[in-house]
Structure 1
Amino acid sequence: MLLKKNSVFKVSLMLSIVFVVVGVIFYEWLGQQASIFLDFAVTNFNWFYLLVGSIFVVLCFYLMFSKAGNIRLGKDTEKPEYSTFSWITMLFAAGMGVGLVFWSVAEPVGHYTTPPYGEGSTSEAANLSMQYTFFHWGLHPWAIFGVTALGLAYFSYRKGLPTTISSIFYPVLGDKVHGVSGKTIDILAVFVTAVGVASTFGLSALQISGGLNYQFGAPDTFTTQLMIIGLATILFILSSWSGISRGLKYLSHFNILLLFLLMALVVIVGPAKQIFEMLIGTTGSYIGNIVPMSLRLNPFNDEASNWIGNWTVFYWAWWTTWAPFVGAFIARISRGRTIRQFVSGVLLIPSLVSFIWFSVIGGSALHWVHNLGHTALASNINADVESALFMFFGNIPLGFLLSVLALVLIFTFLITSADSATFVLGMLSKNGDLHPSTFVKVTWGLVTAGAAMVFILAGGIDAVRTISIVIASPFTIILLFICYVLLKEVRKENRIKRG
C-alpha cells in the first residue's frame, strides 16, 4: 500500500516539533534521560560504535581502489556539474566547518590535560592529544558521510530512483520502499538530520556568544544566544532563496578563503616551525596508529572506557546524526564524478585540510600551554570550552583581529551549514525533490532553530554529547545496511560489465 506523498514531511516535522516542545518544557528531564542512555551506551556498546566506524573506512578504501571506482555517478558520458574547487569548498563548508572552529583549541588542550592514557600535561600527552584530534576529524567522519552520499548518488543518478535514503534499499525491499518500510526509513533519516543540524547550530550560538563576551563584554546569556540563533536563521533563509549555484556556492568559497587567511595569520605570529613539524609528525603517527586507535578498548579500566565514550563514541554518533544531511548534500553536488574521484575527494582532501587547521590553531595553543608554561590558560580553556578559541587569541599578537575574523568565520560557516541543511531536509522529506519549495525550507529552518534552543536549555555541550548518541543509535543500523547494499550492487554491476 502506498502512503500519501507528504507523509514523510508531515510525520518527520511532527516528530521534530514534539522534540522541540518537550525539550523546551522538560529540558531538565530530557538532559537527565539522555545522560542515563549515554551511560548505558558507553558501558555496553563502545565496541559497536568503534567497529562500525572502521567498517565505513574499509569500505571506502575498497571502493576507491577496486574496479568499482570506474563506475560513474550518472550516465557514462556525464561530466561533473561543479568545478573541483567549488565541489570541495561546498562539501567542506557543509560538512563540519562549524565544529572545526569550535573544537580547534578546546579538544587538543583537553586531550593534553586529560589524555586517553598516560600522564597528562607532558610532552607525550601533547603529541597524543594531536594524534587523537586528527583521528576524530580525519578519515572516519568523512567515511561515514561518504558511504551515505555514495549510496544516494549511485541509486539516484545511476539507477534513476528518487534522492531519498529509502531508495538505497530498493535492491532489498523492492517496491516496499514506496510503502511503510521505506517511509519509516526516510522519516528517521529526516528526524536524525534535523537533530544533528540543530546540535551544531546550538554549539555555534554558544561559541559566538562566548566570543562576544570575552572580546567585547557582551552578556553571555540565553537571551544573547537566542538573538544569535534568530539572526542566523533570517540570514540562512535569505541565502537559501538564492539556490546552491549562487548563495551557497559563493558563501562556501568565502568560508574556505577566510579559513586559510586565519591560519596564515596564526602561522605568521605563532610558532611556525613547530606547526609544520606537528603537521608532518602527527600525520605520520595518525597513519601508523589508525588501526590501534580505531579498535582501542580498555575493558578493565573504567576511566579509559569513559574517555573513549565521551570523545570517540560521541564523535562517531555525532557524525552519524550528520550522515543523512551531509550525505544528501554531497550527493546533490557530485553528479558526474566516478566513484574513485568521489571517494578520494570526499575522504582525503577534507581530512588534510582538517589536519592543517588543527596543527595551526590547536598546535599553537599547545605551544603556549606546554612550551611557554601557560598552565592557567589550559585550566581556563577546560572550564569554558565555548570561549577557548578566543582565550587563546587573547594571548597572542593580533589577537583582536583574529577574534573578529573567527567570529565572522563561525557565523558564515553556520549560515552555509544551515542553508544546505534546509535544502536537504526539504529534499529528503519531499520524496527527493531537488527543488524543494521556499515554504518547506523555511519551515525546516524554523524547526532546527527551535531544536538548537533545546540543546542550549538542556545543558549545552553536555546535551549535544548525550542527545546525539541517543538519536543516532537507530540510524547507525541503517548505515550498516547501506554499506551492504552498496557493496552488493556495485559488485553486481561490475560482473555484468565483464559479461
Structure 2
Amino acid sequence: MTDHPSPSTPGGATETREDGRRPERAGERVRRAIRTATTEPAFGIHPGLVPGISVEDTGVRFRTRRSVFVVALLVALAVLVWAIAAPTNLNDVGTSMQSWVVARFGWLFNGTVVAIVIFMLVVGFGPTGRIRLGADDSTPEYSTASWISMLFAAGLGIALIFYGPLEPLSHFLTPPPWTDAQGGTPEAILPSMASSFLHQATFAWCIYALVGGALAYASFRRGRLPLISSLFEPVFADGNHRVLGKVIDIFAVLVTLFGTATSLGIGALQIRTGTSIVTGQELGTPFVVVTISVLTVVFTFSAVAGIKKGIRLMSNANMTLVVVLAVFALLAGPTFFLLDLFPASLIAFAGNLPDMLAVFAGQGAEQQEYLTAWTTLYWAWWISWSPFVGMFIAKISKGRSLRQFVAVVVFVPSAISLAWFTIFGGTAIRMSLDGVGLGVEGAGENVMFDVLGNLPLSPVMWVLCLVAIVIFFVTAADSASNVMGSMSQSGRPVPSRSVTIVWGVALGLLGLFLLLAGGQNALSGLQAIMVTTALPFTVILIGIMVAWALDLRHDPMMIRRRYALAAIRQGVRRGIDEHGDDFVFDIAQVEGDEGAGAGFESDDPALTQWYTDSALREVEEELPDSVAGRQTDG
C-alpha cells in the first residue's frame, strides 16, 4: 500500500485549483454565513441552512497529544523488546491469542465487514449520496482523473505483489473448506479465484471508504479535527479530550503501526529473495539487516525533510512499473485463458459469496485453520490499515459528493485488484496445470519471481519487480510515519519532525528486529498480534457507523430534504382540497403547526452548536460585542 503526501495543507484554500479557479480564502464563507445571521438570538442560523465548515477555516491549533503519543510508543517498544528477548515466546503467545480471537470473535470480524459493505452502499446510493464532503458550494480540489490516479496508487502495495500469484495458487493447490473441489484440478480454479477476490480485491476498499468518508465528512463539513475520536462527537461530545477518545486514537496509531510493519516485513523478505535470484547468490540475515537499515534511513529522511515531490514521482513511477508488469504478464502468459478467467471468476465470486462467508459458522478444525490463516487474518489486516489509508483518502476527497466518493473509492481500486489477481493468479495456476513446479518457500516470497522466471525476458522483469517492491517499501513507510505523527498531534497536516522521526525509527526497528530475532516466526507472531489488536478496532468501526449515521441524519441537506418532502405532501393535499386540478406550488407563510417544519425542533442546540462553536474560533473577534459575548457565555 503506497501513499501520496497530503494534498491539503494549512492555508491550502488559497491555492489555485486545477480548473484555474481561486477558492475563497480560509474563513470567507464562514464569516459571510455568520454575518448574515447576527441580528437574531444565538445567531439565528437555521440548521437546514448551515453551509458546512472545514477544519481549515476554524483556526484550530494542532497540539501534540502527549498521552496518545507516549502510550502508543510504549506499547510499540514493549513489543519490540519482546521480539528481541523472546521471539519464540512472541510467536507462541501471538498464535494462541490469534486462535482464541478467531474461535470466539471470527463472527464479529465477518459480520462487521459485511455490515460495512451494506452501510457504505446505502450511504453512497441512498438519499445521503447528494451530501458533499465539504460546504454545499465546495468543489473538488483535484480533477477526477488526478483523484482516480491517486486512488490507483493507494490501492497498490507490497501485499499486492506478494499475494498476487501466491494466494490463488495456494487455494488452487489446497482448496478452501467451502468447496468440494480437489486440489490441483481444473475444478479448483474458480473457487481459488473467488476466495482471492473476497480477501484481496473487494471488501477491503469498503472498510477504507468507511474511515476515509467519515473523516472527510467530519473534517470538511463539520469542522472537527481529523482524528478517529472526532468521529464519535455525536455519541459523546468533546471526545478528543475524553479518556475514551484518547484510547480510540491510541488504537488507531497501534493498528497502523502493526499493519504497516507486517507489510514491510514481507517486503523485506521479497527484496532478499528477489536480489538472490537476480544476483545468483544466496543472501541471508546480514543482507536483511543492511536493506532494512538503509531503507529506514531513506524513508525517515524523506518523511521529515518533506521531499514530497520525490515521493510523488516515485509513486507515479511505481504505477507505471505495475502496469508494465501486468500488461507483460497478460501478453506473454496464457492470454486467452486469462481473458476467459476474468468474467468466469467474477460470476463464481458472486455465486459463492454466501458459502464463503458461511465458513465462519463452521466449528471444525479445518474451518478454524482456514479462517486463522486466511479470512480473519485479512479482515484484521485491512482493518488495521483503515486509519492509514482512510486518512489519505479523506485528504484528497474534499468537495466530492458521497455518491461519487463511494462509487469511485469502492469500485475503481477493486477493479484494479481484480484484474491484477486474475493476471498473476491465473498465470500461476495455468503454469501449475501445465506441470511447471511452483513451490512455496518460506512465507511464499518466491512465487512472484518464479512466475516471472517462467515468462520471457525474466531477468528484466525480475529487476522491475524488485524496484517496484523497494519503492512500495519506501513510500508506504514514509506515509505511515507521517500519518502516525499526524494522529499523535491532533490531526496536524504536517506533523513535527521530532514526532515523525520517532515513528519512522520505531517502524523500521520493529520490522528489522522482528526479522532479525526470529525470522519468519517473529513475523507470524506479529501477524497474530495484529489480528488481536484489530479486534477492539473492529468495535470502533461499528461505533463509527453508528456515529456517522447520526451525523448524516441531521445533516443540513437531510434537514432540507425532510422539509421538502413534508412541504410537498402538505402542499399537494392542500392544493387538491382548495383548487382541485388547477394549482401550482408557491411559498407562503402558514401557522406554526401547519408548516413543513411542524414538530421539528430547529432550535435544538445539538443541530447548530457544532457549527457555531467551531466558527466562533475563527470569527468571534469580528462579530458585534453583544453577539460574541452572548455566544461565549452560552
TM-score by length of 1: 0.94
Residues 439, 249 of structure 1: CA spacing in aligned structure 2 closer, same or farther, 3 A cutoff? same
**2:111 matched to 1:51?**
yes
Report the equivalent of 1:306.
Answer: 369
Runs of 4+ in structure 1 deviating by more than 4 angstroms, as ranges, are 241-245
Which of 108, 117, 133 is 1:73 aligned to? 133
Tell me the amino acid that sits aligned with residue 347 of structure 1.
V
Counterpart Cα distance in 2 of 1:47 and 1:183:
27
Q: Give the residue type in structure 2 aligned to 1:207.
A: Q
The answer for the alignment partner of 1:415 in structure 2 is: 474
Aligned amino acid, residue 58 of structure 1 = I
Structure 2: segments with no counterpart, 5+ residues: 1-62, 564-634
On the 8 A contact 1:57/1:140 being kept in 2, the answer is yes
Measure how far apart 1:187 and its partner are: 1.2
Please tell me whether the aligned partners of residues 481 and 504 of structure 2 are also in contact (alpha carbons under 8 angstroms). yes
Q: Which residue of structure 2 aligns with residue 258 of structure 1?
A: 321
Letter matched to residue 487 of structure 2: L
Is 1:390 paired with 2:414?
A: no
Which residue number in structure 1 is paired with residue 535 of structure 2?
Answer: 473
1:334-413 alignment runs, 5 A limit: 334-370=397-433, 372-374=434-436, 376-377=437-438, 380-381=439-440, 385-413=444-472
Shift of 1:426: 1.1
Post-superposition shift, 1:200? Answer: 0.5
Which of 477, 491, 497 is the equivalent residue of 1:432? 491
Residues 141-180 of structure 1 correspond to what in structure 2 (within 5 A)?
A: 141-180=204-243
Structure 1: how far apart are the matches of 2:311 and 2:352?
37
Deviation at 1:37, TM superposition (A): 0.9
Structure 1 match to 2:271: 208
Distance in structure 2 (CA, Å) of the matches to 1:315 and 1:176: 30
> Given the alignment of the two structures, is residue 239 of structure 1 paired with residue 309 of structure 2, yes or no?
no
Q: How many residues align?
A: 493
Which of structures 1 and 2 has the larger relative contact order (alpha carbons within 8 angstroms, sep 6+)? 1
Larger Rg: 2
Q: Is the 8 A contact 2:87 2:522 kept in 1?
A: no
Superposition CA RMSD, Å: 2.0
Confirm or deny that 1:449 pairs with 2:508: yes
The equivalent position to 1:106 in structure 2, one of 166, 171, 177, is 166
Task: Tell me the distance in 2 between the aligned counterparts of 1:15 and 1:146.
Answer: 28
Give the percent of matched residue pairs that are identical in Structure 1 and Structure 2: 35
Query: 1:187 matched to which residue of 2?
Result: 250
Q: Secondary structure at the match of 1:386?
A: coil
Aligned residue identity for 1:418: A
CA distance in 2, matches of 1:351, 1:461: 27
CA contact (8 A) 1:12 1:429 kept: no
Kindly provide the amino acid, as one letter, of the partner of residue 179 in structure 1. R
Separation in 2, partners of 1:21, 1:87 = 41
Q: Distance in 1 between matches of 2:542 and 2:392?
A: 20
- Report what 1:125 is aligned to: 188
Question: Cα distance, 1:46 vs. partner?
Answer: 2.1
CA distance in 2, matches of 1:176, 1:76: 26
Partner of residue 389, structure 2: 326
Structure 2 letter corresponding to 1:486: W
What is the CA deviation profile of residues 138-172 of structure 1, one whole-angstrom value per residue up to 9, with x for unaligned ones?
22111111111111111111111111110001111
Q: Does 1:492 align with 2:550?
A: no
State the distance in 2 between where 1:342 and 1:288 align.
27
CA drift of 1:384 comes to 5.5
Q: Which residue identity lines up with residue 115 of structure 2 in the other structure? A: I
**Alpha-carbon distance between aligned partners in 2 of 1:439 and 1:176, rounded to the nearest angstrom:** 26
Counterpart code for 1:441:
T
Letter in 1 for 2:532: V
Alignment match, 2:80: 20
Q: Distance in 2 between matches of 1:4 and 1:363?
A: 48
CA contact (8 A) 2:225 2:491 kept: yes
Tell me which of 67, 78, 84 is aligned to 1:7: 67
* Equivalent residue, structure 1, for 2:545: 483
User: 1:295 offset after TM fit, Å?
Assistant: 3.6
Aligned match of 2:524: 462
Offset of residue 71 of structure 1? 1.0
